[in-house]
Structure 1
Amino acid sequence: MWIERDNKKQALIDAAKALRSQVLVVRGARQVGKTSFVLDALKALSGHPQVRINLSLQRGGVIDGVDYFGRDFFGAAEDAGQFLHNVSLLLGPIERLASAAVIFIDEADRHPVSLEAVQTLAGLSDKLKVIYTGSNLENIAVKNSATGRKLHFDLYPITFREFLRAYGKQTELAYLDGISLDDKTFSEMHHHALNDHFALYLRLGGMPRVLDAFLDAQADRGRIPGIIADLAGTIEENVKSVLGEKTALYEYEDVLRRLAFLSMDTLKFSRLQVNHAGRGEAKRLVNKTVGARVAHKIRLWDSGTDLSKYILFDAGVLNYLLNGSDLLGSKAADSHRAVQYETAVGNEIIAALPTRDDLFYWKSKRGAQVEFILRSPRLTAIDVKSTRGDVRSLDSCAVFEKEVECLVKISQGLPRRTVNYEARVAGAEASRRIELRTLPYYLSGRLLELLA
């Protein structure tokens, strides 16, 4: 079944229409639904001439019922001369087009010369609105960086809110959207229902193929284990396509699994080294994984050195790596559950941010750690608990980091706002008053709105 992403779709349409001396680059992990998402959005631009190109094809062909031109249409010239000539033959002289043509270039990383043409194509944005997609665009080295000529649009897995809508839980969705922390009366009935739905989302994640098998009444949910295993294999193949021979020594799925286990803390690359491959190869592999948007890099706040941690891009893929392919029936250890909640909440926050690079984490010299730090709209420390949990790490952050303006604990508990909370650290003389907000997991996607 098709899962609507109306807000995101309209944002893409608006971005494409508004292009000025730029091309639009839609980024996202393999199998996250970039192609179908763009094709759906293009229906709203039916008044514009459209050209669809899939650069995984040498010549034109049909993929999933859609006609595409191939690499021969784009040509091999870095100045896009052959491509522009073919567009003119197809649509007429570009300078005489009555309305701007929309050019959709899919799998652009499969034909890197197409990325060398960005500078040229961006200069024609009044007549050609060019949309690139690909799963390895950030991992492709180009000679012409075309600085300032790319407008990036990030597509992440289906969010919890989008999942609720597709699941037909309109009552719970309306309640979620209407929650205000100024209202001290909350529905425990809807709260428990939403916590249950989030626990389900925690298992399934947001990959379209998995959710399609779960939500479609005609589909067989017994196919989910095979689908998630295939997705993990596809992700592995996609990242390995940009890795050298040394890094091929790694069993990549095991590397993802290790990243999953280690995602709660600062990553030491030595813990990824295998088969005589050194720290440099381990670091390069992780960087390529981030570039393929399979993992997100969370930097240590106000650190001059690279002491980052990494979370995987999807809760369902994480569930598979930690607990096996039976996403709905597997039993998770408590330590795994903590990683799963942190990852799901982190991905919900990232999906709402202008860029994933806006998310940080904090660690004290004493070892206390806060899962996430946001600099905007307020400098906020965020801790994620797998049940209800304490706030000792948040207390430490508040006491030792005076710039922090707000504390947020995300757990199973009801929403609550404490304006004059007293943060204390055992054994330390200092304390301070600060605002503390308690949010349930299902409000993670609204965090920025609730902080404003």
Structure 2
Amino acid sequence: MKRDIDTQLVEWKKSEFRKPLVIRGARQVGKTYSVCRFGETHFETFIKLDFERDRTIHRIFEGDLSTEKMILELEVHANISITPGKTLLFLDEIQECERALLSLRYFYEEIPKLHIIAAGSMLEFTLGSISFPVGRISFEWMRPMTFHEFLNASGREILADKLPCISNFSPVSETIHLKIIEQLKRYILTGGMPEAVKRYCRTGSLTQSFVVHEEIYQSFLQSLVKYQKRADIDSLDHLMRSVPSHVGSQIKYTRLDPDRRIEKTKTSLHILERALLLHIIKSSDATGLPLNATASSKVMKPLFLDVGLMQYCCGINPSDVLKEKNLSNVYKGALAEQFVGQELLAASGSENFKLFYWSRAKKSSSAEVDYLYVKDGRIWPIEVKSGPAGKLKSLHIFLNEHPHVEKGYVMSPVSFERQDVDKLTFIPVYTRFV
């Protein structure tokens, strides 16, 4: 399945300022598949080392991290000659070997022409515990498949090309809009985990993708316990099933798990965040950039890894999604908000691969805007709604209190054209953030 990261990998290969590349992302989002296909199609020789499956590889990185020694032993291990500029060296599940992570620095300094990519399912747990070679590596994020990638994978390339873009908007007809919404419903049920998408594409059955969701859920749970020996599996299980139901809502630890101590819930939530199964969206007052400068650590909303896994965990009836004309009416609009947040995060997020929103807590008139989108040094508030402008009270309040913000976007499942009403711009919910 073609992924957006394919183009980025080709650009990385050609760059004269190339550094060893570390691909970050949750388990089973397709990192290994994409790198392997890239290596096999764009290099004369390709070497893949899996530090989780083959523990003997670890010995190569013990002791002296001499690049000459490591290259020699890697060639012997793989029985393949390594030629800088013609060979791709792929270090998979690199979090299993901290010395291999450290070696990236020396490869960059001493053999800069050698193409090296590293990836790992639980890499975030390691990054915070070692002295990482900052400035000597580059990062690329990989998320679940976007709606655009889903359409391409399911053989609807022409429909994928019709998706409007927020920066260069081209409206679609009502007929095409209805076809896009029909596929969007299937994407929301299938989600963007590659295995679930593959199962759906091969069988045409949404039920088959639901089977994959259960398999993925269980594998996530077991991997978390492996990397966090002291983790409370019951607490993690509870949060993984309950957090998706809080998407679109501000959360409090006591509400997430009233039967456990707050400290336990905080710990488990932090584990889920580091495993990239959960993204914490912080509230910013949006008075200026960067948004993170005024972000609150107390006011937050959750975004789950994948909309398909979300609907699975929440037990949403698939028929309710398929028969509903307006997706904002399904599950209190949380599915539509998860979808937009997931797409926004896949496009680098609000700021530095993070998401932010705006909230104001006042007894007389509290207000909240779903997302803050930053483009070309400007802030654009985004609401995921279905109603007319008159019902967008929070967005109007935000624009009144932030005169430096030119306008706000309303992403709606019922819109198929761009409509400007005062300082509001209505666009389809499936508009791409490119």
Report if TM-score (shorter chain) is over 0.5: yes
Shift of 1:72: 4.4
Say if 1:267 and 1:310, in contact at 8 Å, map to a contact too.
Answer: yes
Q: 1:134 aligns with which of 97, 107, 120?
A: 120
1:383 aligns with 2:383: yes
Q: 1:28 aligns with which of 25, 29, 32?
A: 25
Give the letter for the 1:194 counterpart: I
**Residues in 1 aligned to 2:25 and 2:371: alpha-carbon distance in whole angstroms:** 22
**Residues in 1 aligned to 2:283 and 2:51: alpha-carbon distance in whole angstroms:** 38
Aligned to 1:315: 307
Shift of 1:338: 1.4
**Gapped regions of structure 2 (runs ≥ 5):** 286-293
**Residues in 2 aligned to 1:260 and 1:220: alpha-carbon distance in whole angstroms:** 24
Aligned to 1:392: 393
Shift of 1:101: 3.0
Moved more, 85-94 or 307-316: 85-94
Is the alpha carbon distance of 1:29 and 1:193 closer, same or farther for their aligned partners in structure 2, counting shifts above 3 Å?
A: same
Per-residue Cα deviation, 1:333-390 (whole angstroms, up to 9, x for no partner):
9572511111111111111227663431000233211110012233100011267783
Is the alpha carbon distance of 1:338 and 1:121 closer, same or farther for their aligned partners in structure 2, counting shifts above 3 Å?
A: same
* Count of residues in Structure 1 that have an aligned counterpart in Structure 2: 412
1:225 aligns with 2:224: no
**Residues in 2 aligned to 1:386 and 1:55: alpha-carbon distance in whole angstroms:** 48
Say if 2:152 and 2:160, in contact at 8 Å, map to a contact too.
Answer: yes
TM-score, length basis structure 1: 0.81
Aligned to 2:136: 149
SS at match of 1:442: coil
Shift of 1:299: 1.7
Q: 2:174 aligns with which of 185, 188, 211?
A: 188
Q: 2:46 aligns with which of 38, 50, 71?
A: 50
Aligned to 1:350: 345
1:53-452 to structure 2, matched below 5 A, reads 53-58=49-54, 71-72=57-58, 74-77=60-63, 79=65, 83-87=70-74, 89=76, 97=83, 99-140=85-126, 141-177=128-164, 186-217=172-203, 222-245=207-230, 247-248=231-232, 250-273=234-257, 276=260, 278-302=261-285, 303-306=294-297, 307-323=299-315, 336-353=331-348, 357-365=353-361, 366-377=365-376, 378-385=378-385, 390-419=391-420, 421=422, 434=423, 436-443=424-431, 446-447=432-433, 449=434
Q: 2:36 aligns with which of 30, 39, 56?
A: 39
Say if 1:297 and 1:357, in contact at 8 Å, map to a contact too.
Answer: no
1:10 aligns with 2:7: yes
Say if 1:371 and 1:384, in contact at 8 Å, map to a contact too.
Answer: yes
Is the alpha carbon distance of 1:110 and 1:191 closer, same or farther for their aligned partners in structure 2, counting shifts above 3 Å?
A: same
**Residues in 2 aligned to 1:29 and 1:116: alpha-carbon distance in whole angstroms:** 21
**Residues in 1 aligned to 2:70 and 2:318: alpha-carbon distance in whole angstroms:** 45
Is the alpha carbon distance of 1:408 and 1:237 closer, same or farther for their aligned partners in structure 2, counting shifts above 3 Å?
A: same
**Residues in 2 aligned to 1:387 and 1:347: alpha-carbon distance in whole angstroms:** 22
Shift of 1:159: 0.9
**Residues in 2 aligned to 1:209 and 1:403: alpha-carbon distance in whole angstroms:** 44
**Residues in 2 aligned to 1:128 and 1:343: alpha-carbon distance in whole angstroms:** 40
Say if 2:244 and 2:303, in contact at 8 Å, map to a contact too.
Answer: yes
SS at match of 1:256: helix
Say if 2:225 and 2:233, in contact at 8 Å, map to a contact too.
Answer: no
Shift of 1:249: 5.1
Percent of paired sites with the same residue:
22
Give the letter for the 2:71 counterpart: L
**Gapped regions of structure 1 (runs ≥ 5):** 60-69, 422-433
What is the Cα-based RMSD across aligned positions, in Å? 3.1
**Residues in 1 aligned to 2:84 and 2:98: alpha-carbon distance in whole angstroms:** 31
TM-score, length basis structure 2: 0.84
Say if 1:109 and 1:137, in contact at 8 Å, map to a contact too.
Answer: yes
Per-residue Cα deviation, 1:290-322 (whole angstroms, up to 9, x for no partner):
222212221211435302222011110001111
Is the alpha carbon distance of 1:327 and 1:356 closer, same or farther for their aligned partners in structure 2, counting shifts above 3 Å?
A: farther
**Residues in 1 aligned to 2:406 and 2:156: alpha-carbon distance in whole angstroms:** 35
**Residues in 1 aligned to 2:137 and 2:347: alpha-carbon distance in whole angstroms:** 21
Say if 1:27 and 1:153, in contact at 8 Å, map to a contact too.
Answer: yes
Say if 1:371 and 1:382, in contact at 8 Å, map to a contact too.
Answer: yes
Shift of 1:15: 1.5
